[in-house]
Amino acid sequence: MIRNNSSSLELKQSLHVPTNESLKRFLGKKKTSVKEEKKETSLKEEKKETGLKEEVLIPENTEKIVVAPHGARLNLIIQYPIFSGSDGTHKWAVQRQKEVTFCLQQNLLSPQVEKVHILNQAEDHHSYVKSLNLTMAGKLVFQTLGWRIKYKDAFLYASKNLIGKNGIIMNADCYVGKGFEHLDENILGKKTMYSLTRHGKPTADGLCSVPDMCGPNYRYIGSHDAWVFRLLAPLPDAVLNNIDYMPHLFGIEQVVMFYMRTSGGFKIKNPCKILHIVHYHCLKVPQQGDYQFYEGQRIDDKLGLTLNKKGSLVWAPFSDL
Structure confidence at residue 209 (pLDDT): 76
Give the Cα separation of 12 and 136 in Å (integer).
10
Neighbours of 129 (CB within 10 A): 21
Give the Cα separation of 299 and 306 in Å (integer).
9
Q: Is 106 part of a structural domain of the chain?
A: yes
Q: Is 7 part of a structural domain of the chain?
A: no
Structure confidence at residue 90 (pLDDT): 80
CATH of the domain at 75: 3.90.550.10
What's the structural domain count of the chain?
1
Structure confidence at residue 80 (pLDDT): 98
- pTM value > 0.85: no
Q: Is 24 part of a structural domain of the chain?
A: no
For the chain, where are the E strands, in sequence order?
74-78, 113-120, 140-144, 166-170, 174-176, 192-196, 199-200, 226-230, 267-269, 277-279
Structure confidence at residue 76 (pLDDT): 98
Give the Cα separation of 94 and 20 in Å (integer).
7
- Of 318, 59, 275, give the one whose Cα is nearest residue 168: 275
Give the Cα separation of 113 and 198 in Å (integer).
17
Q: Is 254 part of a structural domain of the chain?
A: yes
Structure confidence at residue 44 (pLDDT): 47
Per-residue pLDDT of the chain (321 residues; tens, 9 = 90+): 333 333 333 333 334 444 444 444 454 544 445 444 544 444 444 444 434 443 333 333 334 444 455 778 999 999 999 988 665 578 888 989 999 999 999 999 999 999 999 999 999 999 999 999 999 999 999 999 999 999 999 999 999 999 999 999 999 999 999 999 999 999 999 999 999 999 987 665 666 778 899 999 899 999 999 999 999 999 999 999 999 999 999 999 999 999 999 999 999 999 999 999 999 988 776 655 577 889 999 999 999 999 999 999 999 999 999
Q: Is 2 part of a structural domain of the chain?
A: no
Concatenating the DSSP letter of every residue in 156-181 gives HHHHHH-TTSEEEEE-TTEEE-TTGG
- Of 195, 190, 218, 212, give the one whose Cα is nearest residue 314: 195
* Cross-strand bridge partners of residue 77: 117, 169
Which residues span the domain enclosing 292? Answer: 52-314
Neighbours of 11 (CB within 10 A): 18
Q: Is 248 part of a structural domain of the chain?
A: yes
Q: Is 125 part of a structural domain of the chain?
A: yes
Q: Is 5 part of a structural domain of the chain?
A: no
